[in-house]
Structure 1
């Protein structure tokens, strides 16, 4: 095995650069003679704009221009599109709100962009913005998902008077109804999945530039998919062909799905850069992030499970009201509708039906966030299973074991959207239960009770769809010295691509890490690219690297055969060296690359250069899976919850780098724990103001809130891509939410609490434990 190849725990190549301050994040980037923009945002959740007085701002020092929604409407530029169409209850297309870069006539959420000021300095732009006077007529706002469909709720859009954007159904409704009619036992559980702020370490920033000679825009911003953002901005909004827009994205301080599409500020810097004839830069702060970033989750769910007398699942019915916010982002309805196949999870459930109602509210738009619908689906299933087990008096592990899908060695159709590639679900669960010593849990619970504490254990089997969808591109380019540039359509924003792609090339072509330069994040450099999301980069991007590497080897074989004076079919390649079968004749790849660029030594008819690209389209998605088990201890006097153990066994297919895998899974688990324990966006029902609009009020998990993770791997390669990679970026988040909440509910059940909703903050836990028995915390 190559020392730094696939399967080795190689330290991250990019870390020294980043740790020494060499990162180039969006706000680190500057252009000569750049101006600075500032967004004036609405302080109201729902209001008509009666007038805007910009005169004082226009006359302020250093101001280059002030623009309003009326100016934008007159510009002829378009609105942010939505790429996930859905339908109303009557079958007609859903209403798509006008998601313009500046709002004209009305605002629909706190943080809506109302005016745009550009000045010589950022301070001057802000000072001028504070002189703008906007006269509003405040209207009734609705922020609650649970009450958005009430007849007396505020109306977000006149075109959707019931606040319904779309309805979406999946599954066999009649078969599911029959299963429930015949069921021995039915468990019904009302579940609230709270709204979260993505809260990336780096707030958004961007620079817009326009070249009047080439009539071409350049946008520099942090995004997960430069080509996708180019596509969304160019023709729909800027009204130019895609080749007239370059999108550049360098380092990013967190994305998690939030940076998938364009934002109003991207449009504003490009628009005004052209008007002013100079670059325009905008840098958001934490308030901007809370008020204008896409948020996530925010679902009200009713999950029902039908079982026979032996605890075998016969039907699952899930009804969801999904809060979309005031506008639809590029991928707005995706999370609530595109990953519902995860409701089948790892179980044999013969009848499943789900109904989703997407609703508008006067809140931030919601979009993809680590898992993008997968964590929500698995959470609902695992929560209702635990509740059913408790109601029927069956052990939580045993009820799962009775219903698990057997080992999969060939495609397995769940009968509900998904066809799984491979997996050993019972083996995962057995290993995780053994790791946490499940058999001795009763003794540990008794020990906790002797000290006045409540102890609970939670199991969560999990599976997710990954690495599917569009193709990915890779280009391998040798220069005459043998140095390689790997150009990728994926984009690293913390996953470690610069390391794992080098490991792949070390295995495939025998290259040293120092020989390789990674180029990414520039739509002018990479031929095409789909981007990084959905745990797809290593599997889909890696497969494209494999194809391009094979092309490099095949192109070199005739050249090597010429120099070694042998037949092409006698040439073999391994670990960076070409050999001739049965002889000691060799030539390494670096030497072959030099010949490939030299017209004096290249064979007749050889196309000079060594530069190959490839695209790989996955024939089917992969399904990474696993089992997470959490153990908690609750102090009933204070409501404080401590996660005392956390064990997980994950099957991510072929493991490229165990060290990076641990980082990905641990990070995902922390985000899942954060949502269960503390994260929650809160709005004032009357005014629509965000109550949790800063880190003083919105709590993120700290290192000392998290357990020491114990991790095992069950490596079952997928047959759907040549490297056997399933993906790992979202595994931790999918498993952590139900495992931790099941453990909390298991502990609280000893005090008569039937169910409980996130977040499990100390005051909410204390309230639940001290309320009427069998009542959940409101």
Structure 2
């Protein structure tokens, strides 16, 4: 079945309320903290109060003697059991041909701590209160060392790791430097831009959580964990850290209350609890507190970049040159090395026909929490840089933000970019045209005049993003450094009564998979959506899968399910042909019925399902009983969602307060399964993107390395009253290389919105002489920029 046929099936492109919402809204969901095992103890982690220090001694005697304490573990215990450190899942090779530096990342500190929040000891007690009290009694003798938090200071600061004496992890580049330099030499105009992509703290509604369990009789471990990809968690923990056979470890990720990338990784706490469960012969629970999450969850973004665009006299792009310093934090997190390289630099062609692009990335260690993929993962960083630069090009040349984009849009597909990716299909001009109409750009001048009459400033900002989703194919990803496959698995189990259970390696943490995947199966088989159940998040029940990140679930996980459905349909046609005494080549299937061409013979899907399990009239000489199929899908290319976002803001020059007055988003997600779910994903993404642009900012003290924004008192999260109603629409150019034609929608809003907002703020302030500042555009930053412009 082709993508165009699939898009026309019943239940596709239809708003269906999420099946899973009933249990969530009525308090019947089951999160990790809802699970209470027999003989369950509680763990608390002692964390470093210093950004950088030698651990001279740890005295745990008082803690071990405290009431209710079962045991206390430190780094020497880990070393004694020969546990390895946490692995990085992506190998980057430097421009000099050497592999990136991979310092050890112990699950409990050994010899040194390298950021505030680093794991020093684990206290296990009968109750959480007893564990907390005992943790206060752990006495650590630290020798405090100089620390570094700014990526631009890393090279000149004291080394965090022996393996990296200059704090440099790798230098990586892509593109033709010589050709770029030639293009710049002959350019009529060059626009330059320095910018910072500010560090963010992911804040899912449910903090991280884990329960480690060990069955002495069978030698089996079970880890309940709030995680986005349980199979990957199991693989990394067993093969790389603990040296356990995978079949002896079961990872269960129940309902997960948001992740946004921060729950992809194998964290130290997960390994500690699994390991300690055997050591103590107890079930052990750990629930991260919010202040602890600020310190220890992997952070996002944190790039410092310089970008230059070479153009001819008409604003046609000739070449792009970029240098980025990426902050990796104190250790390499699971996918940290892929974010500022493969997921960032390869997207810097954007939607434009720039003939030559050269990108160079230096990655550095600092005394901060590890940085890894956060909603969008590299694509927001690329889009922010490129779309800020493109708007600046327009302003310097005196042409419109829309016009410069239209002059440079790609208009023929497939399109091979100069930075490795090949786009299969798109309609960038169509997205912008629809966005401009929906945003009423024609009425902007009147709205600006009305705003100025109130003593305020109004600006409009554009952003035309593209992203790469469904990281693939595995062989290409492997050549680029991936240390795992990037396929997905789907199993479709048809029951005798015709209902269906689907097992998927994807995992939901708020995306609505139980509804969307059910729609796909119901549409193919011609059954009711409520007749389909979706199972995920349990390595003991689901075939091996790669989890959820990179907006891959429907395009990769859904495609695997479609392949399994192809097998189901093929076998079911043979059964139906036997029942109708026809050749299976003459059997057609549509709307839940099998028919014979040119006749009125028909049988229902339910009849075929029952026959498969009650094979009284069955071609046993040709077919096995049952109707259960599994398929693996490895994509042949990324998918490429794209769109144009237009933002209008009002700025009060007296206070620096920025108010988003209008926001329009038009996206191309290919085939859409459930428009309501897509709209919700886009809304959430836009909110996160505007949060970064105007509010959120993770800040460490440059002298002490202390996290200054360690709670919601200092880290401003967006709220409903920060936003207007969003104007959202879509166009569709179905993906050409997956059977659904889908592209992915989960990260788009967070990718496209930050540059649209900042471009709008700068457009508003340009008459006041303000030409630049970095995110977030907080009142203080905006007001300060206005005062500085006045002083000049």
TM-score calculated relative to the size of structure 1:
0.97
Cα deviation 1:376-396 (Å, max 9, x = unaligned): 111111111111211121121
| 1:385 equivalent in structure 2 | 390
Q: CA deviation at 1:442?
A: 2.2
Q: CA deviation at 1:683?
A: 0.8
Q: CA RMSD in A?
A: 1.5
Q: Which is worse superposed, 1-10 or 507-516? A: 1-10
Tell me which of 404, 408, 411 is aligned to 1:403.
408
Residue 229 of structure 2 is aligned to residue 212 of structure 1: no
Cα deviation 1:456-513 (Å, max 9, x = unaligned): 0001111011123222111111222322111111111111101111111121001212
Q: CA deviation at 1:614?
A: 1.0
| 1:348 equivalent in structure 2 | 353
Tell me which of 159, 164, 168 is aligned to 1:160.
164
After the TM superposition, which residues 625-704 of structure 1 pair with which residues of structure 2 at under 5 Å, given as runs? 625-704=642-721
Q: CA deviation at 1:434?
A: 1.7
Q: Which is worse superposed, 213-222 or 89-98? A: 89-98
Residue 338 of structure 2 is aligned to residue 334 of structure 1: yes
Residue 759 of structure 2 is aligned to residue 756 of structure 1: no
The question of whether the paired residues in 2 share the 8 Å contact of 1:343 and 1:378 is answered with yes
Q: CA deviation at 1:607?
A: 0.8
The question of whether the paired residues in 1 share the 8 Å contact of 2:14 and 2:675 is answered with yes
| 2:489 equivalent in structure 1 | 473
| 2:583 equivalent in structure 1 | 567
Aligned-partner SS, 1:51: strand
Aligned-partner SS, 1:772: helix
Aligned-partner SS, 1:459: strand
Tell me which of 254, 269, 287 is aligned to 1:283.
287
| 1:314 equivalent in structure 2 | 318
The question of whether the paired residues in 2 share the 8 Å contact of 1:232 and 1:261 is answered with no
Cα deviation 1:90-134 (Å, max 9, x = unaligned): 533222121111001110000011011111111111111111111
Residue 381 of structure 2 is aligned to residue 376 of structure 1: yes
Residues of 2 paired with 1:579 and 1:90: CA distance?
Answer: 64
| 1:558 equivalent in structure 2 | 574
Residue 64 of structure 2 is aligned to residue 58 of structure 1: yes
Residues of 2 paired with 1:67 and 1:717: CA distance?
Answer: 54
The question of whether the paired residues in 1 share the 8 Å contact of 2:92 and 2:338 is answered with no
May I ask how many residue pairs the two structures share in their alignment? 771
The question of whether the paired residues in 2 share the 8 Å contact of 1:2 and 1:506 is answered with no
Residues of 2 paired with 1:315 and 1:79: CA distance?
Answer: 42
Residues of 2 paired with 1:90 and 1:575: CA distance?
Answer: 59
| 2:91 equivalent in structure 1 | 85
Aligned-partner SS, 1:333: helix
The question of whether the paired residues in 1 share the 8 Å contact of 2:103 and 2:164 is answered with no
Cα deviation 1:367-414 (Å, max 9, x = unaligned): 0011110011111111111112111211211111111111x4x42112
| 2:738 equivalent in structure 1 | 721
Residues of 1 paired with 2:702 and 2:574: CA distance?
Answer: 73
| 1:18 equivalent in structure 2 | 24
Tell me which of 606, 619, 622 is aligned to 1:590.
606
Residues of 2 paired with 1:311 and 1:292: CA distance?
Answer: 45
Cα deviation 1:7-55 (Å, max 9, x = unaligned): 1011111111110011111111121111111100000000111111111
Q: Which is worse superposed, 513-522 or 665-674? A: 513-522
Q: Which is worse superposed, 569-578 or 56-65? A: 569-578
Residues of 2 paired with 1:303 and 1:679: CA distance?
Answer: 24
Residues of 1 paired with 2:234 and 2:791: CA distance?
Answer: 53
Residues of 2 paired with 1:667 and 1:542: CA distance?
Answer: 22
Aligned-partner SS, 1:45: coil
Residues of 2 paired with 1:3 and 1:350: CA distance?
Answer: 41
Q: Which is worse superposed, 673-682 or 534-543? A: 534-543
| 2:479 equivalent in structure 1 | none
The question of whether the paired residues in 2 share the 8 Å contact of 1:752 and 1:774 is answered with no
Aligned-partner SS, 2:394: helix
Tell me which of 111, 114, 118 is aligned to 2:120.
114
Residue 154 of structure 2 is aligned to residue 145 of structure 1: no
The question of whether the paired residues in 1 share the 8 Å contact of 2:522 and 2:532 is answered with no
Residues of 1 paired with 2:138 and 2:675: CA distance?
Answer: 54
Q: CA deviation at 1:773?
A: 5.0
Aligned-partner SS, 1:461: strand
- From the superposition, tell whether residues 526 and 411 of structure 1 become closer, same or farther in structure 2 (CA, over 3 Å): same
The question of whether the paired residues in 2 share the 8 Å contact of 1:343 and 1:381 is answered with yes
Q: CA deviation at 1:415?
A: 2.2
| 2:562 equivalent in structure 1 | 546
Tell me which of 465, 468, 486 is aligned to 1:462.
465
Aligned-partner SS, 1:533: coil
Aligned-partner SS, 1:699: coil
Residues of 2 paired with 1:601 and 1:206: CA distance?
Answer: 50
Residues of 2 paired with 1:307 and 1:729: CA distance?
Answer: 34
| 1:493 equivalent in structure 2 | 509
| 2:49 equivalent in structure 1 | 43
The question of whether the paired residues in 2 share the 8 Å contact of 1:6 and 1:507 is answered with yes
Cα deviation 1:638-668 (Å, max 9, x = unaligned): 1110111111111000011110110011111
Aligned-partner SS, 2:301: strand
Residues of 2 paired with 1:751 and 1:682: CA distance?
Answer: 29
Q: CA deviation at 1:716?
A: 0.8
Residue 443 of structure 2 is aligned to residue 426 of structure 1: no
In structure 1, the gaps of 5 or more residues are: none
Residues of 2 paired with 1:247 and 1:468: CA distance?
Answer: 23
Residue 735 of structure 2 is aligned to residue 735 of structure 1: no
Q: CA deviation at 1:335?
A: 1.0
The question of whether the paired residues in 1 share the 8 Å contact of 2:322 and 2:359 is answered with yes
Q: CA deviation at 1:3?
A: 9.2
Residues of 1 paired with 2:711 and 2:452: CA distance?
Answer: 38
